[in-house]
Amino acid sequence: MKINTTRKAGFTLVEIMIVVAIIGLLAAIAIPNFVRARKTAQANACVNNLRLIDSAKQQALLENAGATLDQTTLQPYLGRGDAGNWPTCPANGTYTIGAAADNPTCSIGQTLGAPFFHELP
């Protein structure tokens, strides 16, 4: 009597199911962290843009006391970073320059909750 000792190569269904379950578990852990990191990065970029606008506003007011504050007035003071273009909120908010004594604001503001505030501290 001859015993067949050869085994076919390949993965069993159970092995494949275990691998799929592990990948699903890793995705369930990683995806919320990626979303949180993206929102934090957008909020930080927005705050930096607001600081840039505030700095340009202060420079314009120092050179031209009583000047009207709008995008065309502040354009020369935005620097060379993005070819002098008006900054945009990475979360698709809109910026409001505001009065001379007020900080510029983003339309998103505090709607996303802490720590994703889109406003100057």
Token code pair at residue 62 = 């120092």
pTM: 0.75
With respect to residue 27, please indicate whether it lies within any of the assigned structural domains: yes
Q: DSSP label at 109? A: B
pLDDT digits (tens, 9 = 90+) for 57-91: 999 889 888 778 888 888 888 876 666 678 889 99
How confident is the prediction for the chain on average, in pLDDT?
86
Which residue range forms the structural domain that includes residue 70? 14-106
82: Cα separation from own chain's centroid: 17
With respect to residue 114, please indicate whether it lies within any of the assigned structural domains: no
Q: Which residue has the tokens 């990683």?
A: 30
CA distance 107 to 95: 6
Q: DSSP label at 92? A: S
With respect to residue 3, please indicate whether it lies within any of the assigned structural domains: no
99: Cα separation from own chain's centroid: 26
